[in-house]
Every structure is written in structure tokens, then in C-alpha cells.
A and B are shown apart, each in its own frame.
Chain A
Amino acid sequence: MNATTTTTTPALELTGIDMHYGYVRALDSIDFHVGQGEVVGLLGDNGAGKSTLLKIMSGAHRPSAGTVRVHGDEVELHSPSAATHAGIQMVYQDLALVDALDIATNLNIGREILRPGIFGLLGFVDHKAQRKRSEAELDKLGVRTAAMTRPVEMLSGGQRQVVALARSATRVSGEQNGILLLDEPTAALGYEQTQVVQALVRRMADQGIAIVLVTHNLALANAVCDRMVVLNRGRKVADVVTAETDNDHLVGWITGARASMFE
């Protein structure tokens, strides 16, 4: 899979990204790319600039300099909705699910299926069709959660995370395969639930979704990432294929004890 993704146009490509917060230089000419079906881990110590880079990809921040390309075309991500429009979805640490509503409604909000005929014109939602579509979509992702009619508030932490991921995944896997940005998706989860999310991330990548994963968890990164990019104080210090590196190297780059690959 890696052989094919590296030769084709990256799903998302950033070149020469600079980002200043006032006098703080949070990012210093970063080049970054992720291919379809590829999971790229974004590692780095606190304050290294991971979230900032992710926010630029999601349209929440505009870079001070640099270009962003989606499937080869240069785009201006001037707002989160512009990013959504370009097929980029961000999953935030706070999941932003609607607790009192059921899983199906949460998965379908914003892209509801209306009933046919006069009821549809009146804005009536076809709950049954929505449940069916969501079941099929989760099925495709290989996800089992709970009954579609279960309110989200009655799910465990892992299940909620899965629903939030699935919501984003179903929104980017339309006609053109999208890009999913995950910021610490397992920070609040226990071992078993982390396994579940890990498997889901892999599944989504196998379906062609490009995934950028910010994490502090090296075990998770090793398990799901095809490639890892390490940031140190706003600079990219490493960009390595997971199979060709080890934890010692990674920790060295993260802490700054090891010299940058690019100097």
C-alpha cells in the first residue's frame, strides 16, 4: 500500500508553512504530506507545534506563509467550513456529540435523509433510512457500537470516541476520499478502548482515507502509523517510515537529544 501512495499525488500536502503567534514562532517552514490510505503520526513534545499544524490543516488558523494542496490543487483554507468543503474533517478532543440524541441522529445531523413526497417537503426526516445508512456505514468501517437508537450519553468513553470518529469518517468518505485529522484521539481512553480506536483508525485508512494523527502515545503511533513526522520547537526534525525506526530514535527526536534528519 505504501508503495502506491508515495507515487501518487498526496491527498494533503503542505509546503513551507510558517506560523507566528505574535513574536512566537510556532512553526518554521514545515513541509508535510499524507497520501490516501496512509496514516501519518505527528509527534512532538508539549508546545512543539502539533496542534498548530493541525489547526492550519483544518482551516482553524491561517498560516503566516506557505501553501496547502488538497489532491494536488492549491487551496485557501480560510475557515473550518472551507476545509470541510475540501474534504477535510477534524476530530477534536472534546467530541461534541449531542448527548441526549441517539447514535443515528448524531451520525446524520447536517446530512439528514428526508422522507419522500409531501412529508419530505415539510421537512420530515426518514429516521428508518438514516438508521439503515448509518448501520451500513459503520458496518463498512467494521464498527460495532450499540443499538442505533441508544442515546449517546449512554455509551462508554470508547464507544463515544468511536461514534465521533465514525461521524467524521462518514463525512469524508464520499465520492472522493477525504482527509481526517485526529488530535489525541485516545488521550482519555483506557487500554482496551484504545485498542478499539486503533483498529478503527486502521480500518478507515484501509478504505482510502488519509489520516493525520497527533499523539503523545508512542505505542499507539507505532501500531497504527505508516509514517511519522516529529516536530521539535516548531521545526520538522524527522520524517520516517514506521518500520524503519525505533522508539529510541523517536524519543531522541522528540526531546531534541537527537540531531534533525534535515541538517
Chain B
Amino acid sequence: MTSPAQAGGAATPGTPGAAASSTPPTTPGPAVAPAKDSAGVRGLIFLRDRGIFVLWVLLIAVFAVWANPYFATLNNAILIANAAAISAIFAAGVAVGIICGALDLSIPGVAALSSCVAGWMITNGLPVWLALVVGIVLGALVGLVNGLISLRGFNPIIVTIAMLSITSAAAAIVAGGYTFPGLTQLDFMGTQRYLGIPAPVWITAGVFLVGTVFLTKTRDGIRLMAVGGSAEAVRRSGIHSDRYKVFAFVISSTCAGLGGLVTTATVTEANPSASPGLIFTALTAVALAGVSLVGGRGSLPRVLVGALVLATISNGLTIVGVQPYWATGVTGALLIGSLTLERWVTTSVSRRLMATAQASVHTGTR
């Protein structure tokens, strides 16, 4: 059954560039000469994948000049990082959900619930570590419920909106209409600095490091992304795609719980009122990072930079004395700009590739 072309393939070296030729596939010879993309295509892809980094560097450069000498200092950099930290944790949760094809809107409610339950436990003299563990596990459990209900064929947006109401109500019930103030026991993960860097920044760095490694290097992470891209493809490979959907909800909600705890630690108070604004900030960072709302694509480092871009804009504009509502407007404009860029890059890349690339198969002996 072995054809001559195949047998000879191992001996002769590949001809680079042959893969891009559009001649009819009759030439015998070795296969798989990894095609090289043209410089233009690579540039465009770089722009699409790394555009947010470029944007951030540009913003820093602009403010370094405009807000000189107050902007470009180490202290201000730490301020920006700290300001971005908490919204970045929420953004990570939103991003993982969206990447797997499930937008979790219950995040603010889960954050409030975790925060209030932990606050209640600490106020009532229970150990701090236990309060933190319960807060996180509670987040994970809400995610599990979200996921299992959504699997029954209910629209995840409605399910998580319902869960937003339920969890905020639960938070208010736990708090009995008040807040839990003076939670200084949580300073170690709130205002405390390690090596000069505030605790929330460390926590955020940890979340993104683990999340990125998970999504890009591990089997479950890759499958999770694949489910978001095409659940059918995953199913046809004999994998239960549902499991990964539920998993994404759990991750999303766990991030929400963690974000709530870190918020509580920084303000030393557990507040039962869920702020829906939180989800919009997170979504803005996620969208700026080019995470498609359709699912299946996105990268956590870009989401982190998205959150940093938002923090940089509001910090820089505050320093130069511009009213904060300008920052909101600028963010909106950036968002539309980034969408336009993404669309333009995608279409021009595929147009170029169509023109040059052809698959080819050797006809062998027949």
C-alpha cells in the first residue's frame, strides 16, 4: 500500500516555499514544508494579537510627556497597578466565561455574597483562613449551579441575571441590611505591601499566571477554549463538552468570589450591595483585549493589559486635571476603535492568505 512518493519522502529534504505554490498537486516529493507567512501577514497578525500592548505603551508615552513629571514615576506605576488589580480579577473571570462561550453576569452578586459571608464569619470571631476558604468555595458553588442550570438548555445570560439577584439578596440577608466594617484582619491581602508592591497586585499576578498557563498549556484549558470555539468539534472528538462549559462557569464565579474578598480586604469592609458597574468595567477590559464575545478566542495576558489600559487612562487624565467623565468617553472611543482594527486586520489577513495559500496533496501513484 506504500506509494513511492511516501517511501521517498523521508530521504529527500523538503522544498521550502513549495507549499505556497498553486500548481496542481502532481509533483511527487516530500510533504509538509511548513509554510512561511509573508511579512505583511505576520505584521497584521502581530497588530491584532499584540495591538493592546502597543496601545498601552503609546498611552504611557503620551502621559509621560503630558503629565510630566508626575506620571512616569515608580510610585504612580504601583498606583496604576493597584487600581487595575481588582477589576483585572473580575475581568479574568468574565474572560474565561466568554472564551468558553458563557457570559457570567452574576459576578457582582457573587462578589458581594462571598465578601459578606467572609465578613460575617470574621466579625463573629471565626478564623480568617476559614472565612477566605468559605468565600472562595461559595463562589465556585454558585458557578457550578449556574453551569448545571445552563446545561439544561436555559439561556446562560438569563440564568446568571437571576443568580445575580439571588446572590445579592443572599448577601443582604447575611449582612442584615448593614455592612461589616473594620475588617483589618484582612489587611495582609489588602493594603499590605510586599517588596514595595501592594498585596492585590501580587494576587492578580498570581491569578493571571495560573490562568494563562492553564488555558494555553494544559489539556483541560485547551479543551475549554475549544468548546467555546466549536462545541461540536469537541463533541465529535468524543469529549463531553458540557463538562467544560460547567467548568468555565465555576472558574468565572470563583474569580468573582476572590475579587469580592480582595475588594473587602482593600476597603476593610464587606458591603452587600452588588455594583453592576463592575461587570461593565470588566467587560470593557475584556473587549479591549480582543476577546470575541462569540467565544473561543482570547488571551488572559491581553485582558490584564486591557485592565491596565483603563487604569492608566483614568490615572493619567486625573493627573493632568481632566474631569473623570472624559476618561469614560475616551474608553468608549477606544473600544470602538479596537473593534474596527480587529475587523480590518482579520479581513485583510484572510484576503492575503486566500491569494497565496493552497493546500496540496500528492497524488501518489494513481
Contacts and interface: CB of A to CB of B under 8 A. Distances in A.
The answer to whether A and B interact is yes
Contact of B32 (A125, A135, A154, A158): A135
Given A158-B359, A192-B358, A98 B353 contact: no
A199 B25 contact: yes
Interface residues of A, number: 56
A92 B218 CA distance: 28
Nearest to A127: B217
B179 to A, nearest CB: 40
Interface string B291-335: 010001100000000000000000000000000000000000000
B238 A105 contact: no
Given A123-B219, A154-B350, A192-B24, A199 B363 contact: yes
A263 interface: no
A138 B31 CA distance: 8
Given A98-B233, A124-B217, A144-B18, A105 B296 contact: no
Nearest to A157: B354
Interface stretch (A43-51, A202-210, A247-255): A202-210
Given A84-B238, A193-B359, A199-B362, A139 B30 contact: yes
Contacts of B33: 144
Contact of B222 (A84, A101, A206): A101
A135 to B, nearest CB: 5
B361 interface: yes
A146 interface: yes
A196 B31 CA distance: 13
Q: Which of A37, A98, A145, A202 gathers most chain B CB within 10 Å? A: A98
Given A100-B225, A154-B349, A123 B220 contact: yes
A162 interface: yes
B361 A97 contact: no
Interface stretch (B3-11, B71-79, B82-90): B3-11
B185 interface: no
Given A97-B230, A98-B233, A139-B9, A195 B25 contact: yes
Interface of A: 37, 80-81, 84, 92, 94, 96-101, 105-106, 109-112, 114, 122-125, 127, 135, 138-148, 150, 153-156, 158-159, 162, 192-193, 195-197, 199-200, 202-203, 206-208
